[in-house]
């Protein structure tokens, strides 16, 4: 039994052509290849050229891997019929592709001048830094000139953003806002039958269908390339059709990828349907998986030789070649020449690709994740008249009264919506209700449902809309109602939004500001799901900027910075709002009003990574590092400690990613002792461990007395018990005394 099947599959195709009796004269290229098919003979050959290119690329990828020169072997063999979409879609219809769509890419590239899909594919196999889309960071199907944003997903986690993009195209067009696509563009999104089961795939279908059923446009084509197997696990016969043929809100089309003329005709019909009705399509394209899941997947471990052989016998390319020859679209000699030509070109492209440079330093690898410096950002202020109108003549900076956090956030958002006409606010309950904590109060009334809208109750969909909308020209400000809810959709930030710049070398961006209400301290109300105090899953995401203000004025200036970074630099920013501080007005005593702040002057912004210092007497011997609820408690502790002669300086981190390590180090060295107050739970949930590790390793702070206090490793319980597991002001005072070498009274 031969384990390696490449040569067998290749030979079967070659033999099919060679054994054809030939003798069919060339027939007119402009006429249908069969019956009344919309596919002409000439187009069939053109599409076949891309299919064969894709097949031969797959084989070359494996040869490169065998020689230790290539690093990726998941191929498109047996899926080549997707090239009909490459030919039929416009080259500016966004295409979010899974890894078996190489033929589609090749076919689309043929429609545009200056494209070099063959060489580009080789560069990606060998992970060259000259790979035009990812710069050697991943083998992705992508192109900045062909509107193919790269997807690295193997689990269909790109479907929500495809639906979101489709929704946003029509939304932005309706609002008369500049669009990165044509207003009648459709979004194409491919994936496999096995990954259709994934929760994010289901979220994508649901989002599109929900739009359609609610009368909203969502022109997306979900193309399920059904090869009947996911690695070694077979999809039951008829499964995809049973699941999707009658799904409300999705128009189902089906084609057999082994029938080129039929696939072309149905694809044409589906695209026209989607483009004209602006409704979502589920396109079921039956394909065959050849050469295993990847080069490392040995089919003999789960299939018999007979089964493998029978599968390879179903190779769609055999039928396509036969069709071309039988119909007189090409002569036998012509097809042999075409084959030889492509074989040589693929080999030659590979020869040069292996010589091209690779990424050679960590700095180069990381470069696309760079966080912008403040000097690179323009803090935008809306036009005076438009601001006056939006605030109905009462500009917030003219209001002398200091205000609390929840009062300033909607003002900041309103101001930003004036400054950025493409800023969209969306999430659960954000529209007419103005958010469960009123953080979006008044926006719906001022800007209308086009720019301020409620979404379906699903965080994956919210973040999918954000990603898609950002890529077609919006500045999305999605809201996640509670921190705990972000975790069911975390991959939309971690694996998708935050990684786009990395895998596209910054050529595609999805700048956004995700507002999330979170943390504990809600006086026993809400329990875990409304008091989540872990942000560990967010802190580890490369390239993400995380802001977490604790006071009203900082909220305003930090939102301004995040908006500018998202719009100008494509930064994905998170804005964590401490629920317990929304209405807080006082710090020490009821009525002291020390937590009320004026509206920062328009244009004033807080630079990313800049902490705020609350100095004490000037002779501080302790640095307390904290943020959010912990900050307020630290300030309370600061006063108590001062009375005891322990002088503390308090540093509000404000930015949790990237952390202001340098500033912390500097202040720590000046004060001589460090206490990190981390309201998150103890293990990997907050930033304190990272802060202490940096201090312990830095020359100027190593050896200083330092410690942290955190919450317990538990979920937050309901009622007064909540306080038993979260940091309290007294804990801070006690820890500070210990650090200062004083006994607690």
Chain contacts with another protein (rule: CB under 8 A): 29-30, 42-43, 45-46, 49, 110, 112-116, 118-120, 330, 334-335, 337-338, 340-341, 344-345, 348-349, 351-352, 355
Select 68 or 113, whichever has its Cβ closest to another protein: 113
HEC secondary structure over 389-456 = HHCCCCCHHHCCCCECHHHHHHHHHHHHHHHCCCEEEEECCCCCCCCCCCCCCCHHHHHCCCCEEECC
**Which residues, at least 6 apart from 179, have a Cβ–Cβ distance to it below 8 Å?**
169, 172, 173, 472, 473
Length of the chain: 745
Shortest CB 124 distance to another protein, Å: 13
Select 118 or 497, whichever has its Cβ closest to another protein: 118
Select 115 or 225, whichever has its Cβ closest to another protein: 115
SS3 content of the chain, % helix, strand, coil (to 5): 45, 15, 45
Q: Contact at 8 Å (CB) between 718 and 624? A: no
Shortest CB 121 distance to another protein, Å: 11
442 conformational bin, left if phi > 0, alpha if psi -120 to 50, beta if neither: left
Dist CA 622 CA 674 (whole Å) = 6
CB atoms within 10 A of CB 587: 17
- Is 310 in a helix, a strand, or coil? helix
Select 214 or 337, whichever has its Cβ closest to another protein: 337
Shortest CB 113 distance to another protein, Å: 3
Angle at 202 between CA 201 and CA 203, to 5 degrees: 90
Shortest CB 30 distance to another protein, Å: 8
Shortest CB 335 distance to another protein, Å: 8
Select 106 or 266, whichever has its Cβ closest to another protein: 106
Pick the closest to residue 151 from 192, 202, 117 (CA basis). 192
Shortest CB 348 distance to another protein, Å: 4
Q: Contact at 8 Å (CB) between 314 and 86? A: no
Select 116 or 277, whichever has its Cβ closest to another protein: 116
DSSP state of 520: S
Strand partners, 32: 40
Shortest CB 114 distance to another protein, Å: 3
- Is 462 in a helix, a strand, or coil? helix
Select 356 or 528, whichever has its Cβ closest to another protein: 356
Dist CA 469 CA 512 (whole Å) = 9
Select 277 or 360, whichever has its Cβ closest to another protein: 360
Shortest CB 566 distance to another protein, Å: 29
Strand partners, 453: 426
Select 37 or 200, whichever has its Cβ closest to another protein: 37
Shortest CB 110 distance to another protein, Å: 7
Shortest CB 294 distance to another protein, Å: 26
Select 347 or 639, whichever has its Cβ closest to another protein: 347
CB atoms within 10 A of CB 301: 9
Select 108 or 293, whichever has its Cβ closest to another protein: 108
Dist CA 393 CA 402 (whole Å) = 18
> Inter-axis angle of helices 199-213 and 459-471, to 10 degrees?
80
Q: Contact at 8 Å (CB) between 164 and 424? A: no
Shortest CB 358 distance to another protein, Å: 14
């Amino acid at each position: 039994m031969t384990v390696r099947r490449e040569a067998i599959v290749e030979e079967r195709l070659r033999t099919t052509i060679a054994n054809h009796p030939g003798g069919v004269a060339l027939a007119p290229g402009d006429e249908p290849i069969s019956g009344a098919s919309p596919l002409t003979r000439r187009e069939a050959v053109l599409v076949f050229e891309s299919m064969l290119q894709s097949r031969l690329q797959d084989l070359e990828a494996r040869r490169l891997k065998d020689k230790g020169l290539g690093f990726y072997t998941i191929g498109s063999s047996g899926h080549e019929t997707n090239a009909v979409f490459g030919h039929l879609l416009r080259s500016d219809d966004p295409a979010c592709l899974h890894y078996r769509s190489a033929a589609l890419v090749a076919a689309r590239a043929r429609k545009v001048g200056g494209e070099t899909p063959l060489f580009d594919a080789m560069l990606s196999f060998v992970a060259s830094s000259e790979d035009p889309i990812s710069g050697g960071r991943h083998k992705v199907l992508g192109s900045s000139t062909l509107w193919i944003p790269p997807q690295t997903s193997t689990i269909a986690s790109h479907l929500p953003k495809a639906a979101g993009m489709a929704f946003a195209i029509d939304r932005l067009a309706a609002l008369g806002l500049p669009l990165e696509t044509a207003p009648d563009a459709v979004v194409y999104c491919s994936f496999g039958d096995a990954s259709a089961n994934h929760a994010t795939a289901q979220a994508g279908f649901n989002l599109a269908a929900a739009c359609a059923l609610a009368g909203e446009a969502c022109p997306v084509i979900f193309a399920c390339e059904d090869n009947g197997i996911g690695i070694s696990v077979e999809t039951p016969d008829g499964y995809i059709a049973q699941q999707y043929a009658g799904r409300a809100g999705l128009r189902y089309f089906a084609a057999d990828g082994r029938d080129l003329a039929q696939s072309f005709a149905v694809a044409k019909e589906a695209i026209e349907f989607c483009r004209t009705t602006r409704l979502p399509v589920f396109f079921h394209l039956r394909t065959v998986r050849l050469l295993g899941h990847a080069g490392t997947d040995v089919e003999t471990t789960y299939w018999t030789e007979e089964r493998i052989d029978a599968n390879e016998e179903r190779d769609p390319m055999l039928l396509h070649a036969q069709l071309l020859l039988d119909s007189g679209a090409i002569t036998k000699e012509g097809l042999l020449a075409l084959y030889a030509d492509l074989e040589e070109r693929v080999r030659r492209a590979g020869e040069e690709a292996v010589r091209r440079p690779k990424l050679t330093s960590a700095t180069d690898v990381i470069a696309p994740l760079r966080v912008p410096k403040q000097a690179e950002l323009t803090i935008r202020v809306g036009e005076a008249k438009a601001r006056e109108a939006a605030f109905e003549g009462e500009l917030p900076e003219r209001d002398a009264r200091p205000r609390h956090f929840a009062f300033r956030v909607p003002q900041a958002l309103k101001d930003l919506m004036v400054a950025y006409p493409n800023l969209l606010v969306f999430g659960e309950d954000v529209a007419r209700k103005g958010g469960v904590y009123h953080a979006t109060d008044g926006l719906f009334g001022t800007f209308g449902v086009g720019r301020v809208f409620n979404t379906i109750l699903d965080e994956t969909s919210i973040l999918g809309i954000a990603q898609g909308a950002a890529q077609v020209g919006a500045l999305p400000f999605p809201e996640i109602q509670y921190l705990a809810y972000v975790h069911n959709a975390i991959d939309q930030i971690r694996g998708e939004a935050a990684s786009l710049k990395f895998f596209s070398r910054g050529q595609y961006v999805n700048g956004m500001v995700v507002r999330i209400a979170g943390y504990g301290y809600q006086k026993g109300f809400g329990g875990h799901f409304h008091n989540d105090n872990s942000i560990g899953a967010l802190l580890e995401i490369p390239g993400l900027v995380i802001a977490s203000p604790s006071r009203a004025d900082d909220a305003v200036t930090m939102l301004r910075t995040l908006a500018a970074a998202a719009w100008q630099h494509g930064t994905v920013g998170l804005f964590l709002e401490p629920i317990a501080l929304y209405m807080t007005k006082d710090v020490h005593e009821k009525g002291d009003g020390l937590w009320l702040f004026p509206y920062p002057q328009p244009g004033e912004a807080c630079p990313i990574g800049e902490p705020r210092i609350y100095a004490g007497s000037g002779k501080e011997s302790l640095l307390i590092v904290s943020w959010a609820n912990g900050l307020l408690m630290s300030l309370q502790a600061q006063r108590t400690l001062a009375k005891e002669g322990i002088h503390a300086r308090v540093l509000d981190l404000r930015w949790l990613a990237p952390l202001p390590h340098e500033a912390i180090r500097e202040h720590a060295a000046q004060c001589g002792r460090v206490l990190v107050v981390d309201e998150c739970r103890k293990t990997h949930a907050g930033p304190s461990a990272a802060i202490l590790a940096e201090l312990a390793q830095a020359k100027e702070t190593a050896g200083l007395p330092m410690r942290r206090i955190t919450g317990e490793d538990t979920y937050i319980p309901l009622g007064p018990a909540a306080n038993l597991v979260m940091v309290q002001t007294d804990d801070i005072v006690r820890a500070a005394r210990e650090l200062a070498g004083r006994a607690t009274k």
